[in-house]
């Protein structure tokens, strides 16, 4: 597709030009005096991190331009929003929710809410819902069965469209869970909509996804942008507000240059089952961690394999009605990221796989760099400090050669240094400003009005700067742990709000805080100018424990909401599907029969999913011809 290549070359030109300009400025600054080995390393690290920033910046700026002009990122035609479709679907679709040691009430309430929402559309005859349990804890497994039996009674005739299956052995984690479903019941459905344990999707959103797949028989996967909701703690509401404010604009830019080679984020997406079963059987990788073993971040790889086989993968950047929940405090957020760090770094070993399209390789690389960049930033700060200390404690040598007539004066490119700092700050902060401008123009009432939107955005920016140093340290530590071969356990994540105890806050932040105190003392004594430049980083680390503690407060979260801070559209005007979930959670039965038996399942027709190889091309795709 010529239009696809044109877009991607346009994006590459923007990023590469910006990166080259930034690296050129840094090179001039460092070469004002003779380059040392330490400064060469610093320059290489800067080049990598600045390129990453430029990539994110231009994705956001393209998204800003398209949303400002109200253009669809794929067709570039005028379009305010992806039109919702409630037409009767032709094909059968399975809605699947894999769960693993989750809170029973929450998964049952979410599952029932999605099912009843779709039933109210009048198209339930084309859908079945599956809860695919990999729960290992016996007490939770029995609670799931009991809650399922109670739900079946409530559903009445709708119970014929709901099925519960628990695996006795959760081999290959979520990959194995979904593969088991596909091989046993995939033959009965054209598509599957994959939900996470905390996902909620409206009927209109699910029906629109099915309609989009039926409209494009070459589409193998369509991903929505899940919007965080239902957060009460201060940190959770910060994440929720930032996501709904910034993510649509960024996703629009991503959809523009990814075109039909988009990515998959593991849930709130629809997948064509025949394509998925033929091309997404994942192998166990050879060798030790971090590059061997089970494929952990399977979603990126599955999208890449579909694209390799010629199937189209799209991101619908502005489809409403797709929701998820996020960790409610910094420690749970970091724990979730720890799993993603290992999975994304594993993708670096797949960059050379046979037949992958360039966009998929970019997804692999950028996904890993999203976390490795934290280690790079930390190394840059450490190297910059070391370089400044060396200069501060060394005597200047103005005559380093015999019979030298003129001295070697030390040159400081002060103006260029300030310009580069300003450019870097602009690349980081301008996307936030432009997202606020878009929201002020088109969505301010959804955020409770212009004042609440503007004030919330200002507080969000300040809070993001405050927690950035701590997240940098956590991510850097996680990256080092992965490369040193330490494994991570993939347990269920905490989803409900909780106040982090002081003991946990101190234990998980004390090393970073003590190092920051020592770091700050040394720089203040020897290089005061550097100390003041680094004050935001040092302050964020020194205050890490109280930041963790108080940002997890439910009381402060409710107080902020009353003051209009971090007001999100889902709070200002609650969507019907979220209202139904809230009411259902508040009325979940307190006591249930603990002697429930495993419910019946549909008839099986086993179909193997061929295991893919990364040193060979894909199997014949079975794609319909363009003339069909």
pLDDT digits (tens, 9 = 90+) for 515-532: 999 999 999 999 998 899
Beta bridge partners of 270: 193, 222
Contacts of 348 (CB under 8 A, 6+ apart): 291, 364, 365, 368
- Would you state the pLDDT for residue 444? 94
Assess whether pLDDT exceeds 70 at residue 488: no
Rounded Cα–Cα distance for residues 316 and 242 (Å): 19
CB 311 within 8 A of CB 279: yes
**Tens-place pLDDT, residues 80-109:** 677 788 788 999 999 999 999 999 999 999
Instruction: Examine residue 278 and say whether the peptide bond preceding it is cis (omega within 30 degrees of 0).
Output: no
Residue 479's nearest CA partner among 333, 340, 381, 352 is 340
- Would you state the pLDDT for residue 411? 47
Provide the pLDDT confidence category of residue 408 given band limits of 50, 70 and 90.
Answer: very low
Provide the pLDDT confidence category of residue 393 given band limits of 50, 70 and 90.
Answer: confident
Q: What is the 3-state secondary structure (H, E, C) of 274-326?
A: HHHHHHCECCCECCCCCCCECCCCHHHHHHHHHHHCCCEEEEECCCCCEEECC
Assess whether pLDDT exceeds 60 at residue 183: yes
**Tens-place pLDDT, residues 219-251:** 999 999 999 999 999 999 999 999 999 999 999
Which strand ranges, in their side-by-side order, compose the sheet holding 269-272?
162-166, 127-133, 93-99, 191-194, 269-272, 219-224, 312-316
Q: What is the 3-state secondary structure (H, E, C) of 527-545?
A: CHHHHHHCHHHHHHHHCHH
Q: Would you tell me how many other CB atoms lie within 10 Å of the CB of residue 238?
A: 24
pTM for the structure as a whole: 0.92
Cα–Cα distance list, 490 to 268, 294, 510 (Å): 20, 12, 25
Q: Would you tell me how many other CB atoms lie within 10 Å of the CB of residue 363?
A: 26
Q: What value does the mean pLDDT of the chain take?
A: 90
Count of CA atoms in the C-beta half-sphere (13 A) of 196: 19
- Would you state the pLDDT for residue 30? 82
- % of the chain at pLDDT higher than 70: 92
CB 371 within 8 A of CB 344: yes
Provide the pLDDT confidence category of residue 407 given band limits of 50, 70 and 90.
Answer: very low
Provide the pLDDT confidence category of residue 35 given band limits of 50, 70 and 90.
Answer: confident
- Domains of the chain listed by start with CATH number: 91-196 (3.90.550.10)
Provide the pLDDT confidence category of residue 490 given band limits of 50, 70 and 90.
Answer: low
- Would you state the pLDDT for residue 491? 59
Q: What is the mean pLDDT of residues 60-66?
A: 97
- Would you state the pLDDT for residue 339? 86
Q: Name the helix (H) or strand (E) containing 223.
A: strand 219-224
Q: What is the mean pLDDT of residues 599-622?
A: 88
Beta bridge partners of 324: 228
β pairing state of 191-194 and 227-228: unpaired
Q: Tokens for 550, please give them.
A: 């108080």
- Would you state the pLDDT for residue 470? 96
Among 271-280, 316-325, 618-627, the minimum mean pLDDT is found in 618-627
Q: What is the mean pLDDT of residues 407-414?
A: 50
Rounded Cα–Cα distance for residues 309 and 621 (Å): 5
- Would you state the pLDDT for residue 5? 86
Phi and psi (nearest 5°) for 14?
A: -60, -50
**Tens-place pLDDT, residues 255-290:** 999 999 999 999 999 999 999 999 999 999 988 877
Assess whether pLDDT exceeds 50 at residue 322: yes
Among 311-320, 492-501, 606-615, the minimum mean pLDDT is found in 492-501
Residue 571's nearest CA partner among 464, 467, 445, 472 is 445
Radius of gyration, alpha carbons of the chain: 26
Q: Tokens for 164, please give them.
A: 């519960």
Helix axes 234-258, 414-442, angle to 10 degrees: 90
- Would you state the pLDDT for residue 409? 42
Q: Name the helix (H) or strand (E) containing 166.
A: strand 162-166
CB 523 within 8 A of CB 534: yes
Q: Name the helix (H) or strand (E) containing 163.
A: strand 162-166
- Would you state the pLDDT for residue 591? 59
Assess whether pLDDT exceeds 70 at residue 353: yes
DSSP string covering 75-101: T--B-SSPPP--SPPSS-EEEEEEESS
CB 326 within 8 A of CB 232: no
């Amino acid at each position: 597709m010529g239009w696809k290549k044109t877009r991607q070359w346009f994006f590459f030109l923007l990023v590469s030009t910006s990166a080259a300009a930034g690296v050129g400025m840094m090179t001039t600054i460092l070469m004002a005096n003779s380059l040392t080995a330490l400064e060469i390393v610093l320059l290489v690290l800067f080049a990598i991190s600045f390129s990453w920033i430029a990539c994110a910046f231009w994705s956001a700026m393209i998204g800003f331009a398209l949303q400002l002009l109200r253009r669809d990122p794929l067709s570039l035609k005028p379009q305010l929003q992806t039109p919702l479709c409630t037409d009767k679907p032709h094909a059968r679709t399975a809605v699947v929710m894999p769960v693993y040691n989750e809170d029973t009430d929450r998964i049952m309430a979410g599952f029932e809410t999605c099912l009843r929402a779709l039933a109210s559309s009048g198209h339930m005859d084309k859908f079945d819902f599956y809860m695919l349990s990999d729960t290992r804890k016996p007490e939770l497994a029995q609670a799931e069965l009991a809650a399922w039996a109670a739900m079946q009674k409530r559903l009445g005739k709708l119970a014929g469209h709901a099925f519960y299956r628990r695996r006795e052995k959760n081999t290959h984690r979520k990959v194995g869970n979904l593969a088991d479903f596909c091989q046993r019941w995939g033959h009965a459905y054209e598509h599957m909509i994959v939900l996470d344990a905390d996902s909620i999707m409206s009927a209109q959103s699910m029906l629109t996804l099915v309609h989009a797949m039926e409209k494009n028989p070459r589409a193998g996967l369509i991903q929505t942008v899940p919007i965080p909701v239902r957060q009460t703690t201060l940190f959770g509401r910060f994440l929720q507000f930032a996501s709904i404010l910034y993510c649509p604009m960024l996703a629009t830019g991503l959809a523009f240059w990814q075109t039909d080679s988009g990515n998959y984020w593991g849930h709130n997406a629809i997948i064509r089952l025949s394509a998925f079963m033929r091309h997404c059987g994942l192998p166990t990788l050879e060798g030790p961690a971090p590059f061997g073993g089970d494929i952990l971040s399977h979603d990126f790889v599955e999208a890449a394999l579909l694209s390799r086989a010629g199937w189209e993968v799209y991101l619908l950047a502005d489809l409403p009605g797709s929701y998820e929940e996020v960790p409610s405090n910094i420690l749970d957020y970091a724990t979730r990221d720890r799993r993603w760090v290992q999975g994304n770094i594993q993708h670096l070993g797949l960059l050379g796989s046979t037949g992958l399209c360039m966009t998929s390789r970019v997804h692999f690389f950028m996904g890993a760099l999203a976390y490795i960049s934290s280690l790079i930033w930390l190394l840059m700060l450490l190297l910059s400090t070391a370089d400044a200390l060396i200069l501060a404690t060394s005597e200047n040598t103005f005559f380093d050669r015999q019979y030298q007539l003129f001295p070697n004066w030390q040159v400081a490119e002060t103006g260029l240094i300030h310009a580069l700092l300003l450019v870097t700050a602009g690349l980081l902060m301008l996307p936030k400003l432009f997202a606020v401008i878009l929201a002020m123009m088109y969505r301010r009432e959804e955020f409770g009005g212009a004042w609440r939107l503007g004030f919330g955005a200002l507080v969000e920016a300040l809070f993001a700067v405050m927690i950035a140093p701590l997240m940098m340290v956590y991510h850097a530590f996680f990256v080092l742990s992965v490369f040193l071969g330490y494994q991570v356990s993939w347990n269920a994540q905490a989803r409900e709000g909780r106040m982090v105890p002081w003991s946990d806050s101190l234990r998980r932040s004390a090393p970073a805080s003590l190092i920051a105190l020592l770091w700050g003392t040394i720089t203040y004594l020897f290089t005061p100018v550097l100390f003041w430049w680094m004050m935001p980083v040092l302050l964020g680390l020194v205050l890490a424990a109280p930041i963790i503690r108080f940002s997890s407060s439910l009381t402060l979260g409710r107080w902020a909401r009353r003051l209009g801070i971090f007001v999100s559209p889902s709070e200002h005007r609650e969507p019907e599907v979220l209202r139904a979930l809230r009411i259902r959670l508040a009325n979940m039965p307190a006591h249930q029969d603990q002697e429930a038996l495993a419910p019946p399942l549909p008839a099986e027709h086993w179909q193997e999913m061929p295991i893919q190889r990364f040193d060979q091309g894909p199997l014949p795709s079975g794609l319909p011809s363009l003339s069909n």
